[in-house]
Chains A and B, each alone.
Chain A
């Protein structure tokens, strides 16, 4: 059952999923090629409707692909879904626990479904309750839980059988900042124990802070893949934003011609410059604007974010799309 070291946790080729409705055919996932290494935290970043959940549900054996192939934890997704199910955990966006049922009961039952004896399942449930700090609510119905408690229980349900690979669909959506930080801690602890975590998110900071590698998906296609650092570096060294009195277009014309400016654009009235080294470029920009008689109002320097990556790859800002 164990998978050899060095084998990828997930490998997909041309994975597709088409949904047919009465009126139209929607290609939710349009040919995804992915490799997720063992024991990494892999993030799937994209706006709502980009195909994140559909891809995840295919990889978790819940949805048959319309095309393509995939290997999950060393098993063929299409021909060995039963073997895949034994070694993966999956926590959907909705969670998965019944509001009317007691948390501990859910954990024990889940363990039993993976073939544990009653005693073993009870022991495992107690371990998870302690690990996820659910002692206060474990013996109450789920409907009495706070959002953070419920999410931790749902994650616990996905961890009952110590899966090699855990899928988390939007694990922190709708959580308050403290609960979110707790979930991040749990994900890092799983990672430390050698579990591969594949999560989806539309939060830039989450992908950035939590993931070893990410793939950006938009309209069912992967538009970028790599470590957050590499992706940001590939976009541009730094981003300088500035505003001038009068038309920003005039500033663009002047600055675009400078060798240290890789790219310039206007967003919400602000001039946005991608430069190699911000601390070197800023004085040069100031001199250039002065020489051109343009009055500078504000100027700022920031490291590029994943949103800049998304913007560059798709032409849209993830913040706008997600809003």
Chain B
């Protein structure tokens, strides 16, 4: 199938570029480690606060961290695309018969790949600190993170193709991601939040993803919020891939 072949080729290209830049690989591993070492210890003190979910600080915190990794890990991917626009790479690829969906999907899946590797490292590193998960839970959470990453990367690439400049791309992406992140209960559970904040968060799709990830890590795999979170992310993912592929088809550089 042409789409699968083209996606695999494009994935291969960006994977090759990625592993030939050791700095990115190192940053990818060090970042989750820093979160665990420098931020998680703070949680020890507040886990007894009223409203804080039961199940251990790390089982509450790590799911949020993973969602954040999915979002932030993919939000910045447009920068490399803008550099490629300038070098004429995108134009050169668009003039070949390669599938436009593959141009998006191949590179977005490469981004998802590194997010998943980072997520796995983070989960493994958190185990000795007291995180408790089972294998199925890890698989479900990784699926969720993959969807978040794919969704975010597709939107990020579309924004990069529309703006075509770092100076426009950066403010849009960073202005958008911060409130989305804060309103999702990533850092601290929204169960601690006042009602008005919870109401706003209910309109934020990412908060359902965080709820789902926490439900998995607090060992309620059958919790309806898990299916809900995965389903919402999956639907948004399909929409964003459609938008992103369209942007590749129409790109004017």
Contacts and interface: CB of A to CB of B under 8 A. Distances in A.
B252 interface: yes
Contacts of A113: 6, 9, 93, 96-98
Interface string A51-80: 000000000111110000000000000000
Interface residues of B, number: 23
A148 interface: no
A98 B84 contact: yes
A61 B249 CA distance: 10
A86 interface: yes
B16 interface: yes
B200 interface: no
Interface string A81-118: 01001101110111111111100010001101111000
Contact of A92 (B6, B17, B92, B98): B92
Interface string B89-105: 10111111110000000
A100 B92 contact: no
B97 A92 contact: no
Contacts of A62: 91, 94-95
B246 interface: no
A90 B17 contact: no
A239 interface: no
A100 B21 contact: yes
B16 A105 contact: yes
B88 A92 contact: yes
Nearest to A157: B92
**Most A C-beta atoms less than 10 A away, residue of B13, B16, B84:** B13
A92 B237 CA distance: 33
B96 A92 contact: no
**Most B C-beta atoms less than 10 A away, residue of A86, A92, A97, A99:** A92
Interface size class for chain A? 20 to 34
A139 to B, nearest CB: 13
A95 B93 contact: no
Given A109-B9, A109-B13, A98 B89 contact: yes
Interface string A157-169: 1000000000000
B208 to A, nearest CB: 38
Interface string A115-141: 100000000000000000000000000
Contact of B91 (A82, A86, A94, A100): A94
B20 interface: yes
B209 to A, nearest CB: 33
Given A61-B95, A62-B95, A112-B9, A94 B17 contact: no
Nearest to B250: A64
A110 B97 CA distance: 11
Contacts of B92: 90, 92, 95-97, 110, 157
B87 interface: yes
**Most B C-beta atoms less than 10 A away, residue of A86, A88, A96:** A96
Contacts of A98: 17, 84, 87, 89
B97 A85 contact: yes
A276 to B, nearest CB: 47
Contact of B87 (A82, A85, A96, A112): A96
Contacts of B89: 96-98
Contacts of B12: 109
Given A62-B94, A113-B93, A96 B88 contact: yes
B97 A114 contact: yes
Given A101-B17, A112-B9, A113-B9, A95 B95 contact: no
Interface string B69-88: 00000000000000010111
**Most B C-beta atoms less than 10 A away, residue of A62, A92, A105, A113:** A113
25 contacts: A60-B95, A61-B95, A62-B91, A62-B94, A62-B95, A85-B95, A88-B95, A90-B95, A95-B88, A95-B92, A96-B91, A96-B92, A97-B87, A98-B84, A98-B87, A100-B17, A100-B21, A101-B16, A105-B16, A109-B9, A109-B12, A110-B92, A113-B9, A114-B96, A157-B92
Given A96-B91, A113-B6, 13 more contacts: A61-B94, A62-B91, A62-B94, A90-B91, A90-B92, A95-B87, A96-B87, A96-B89, A96-B92, A99-B87, A100-B20, A113-B97, A154-B88
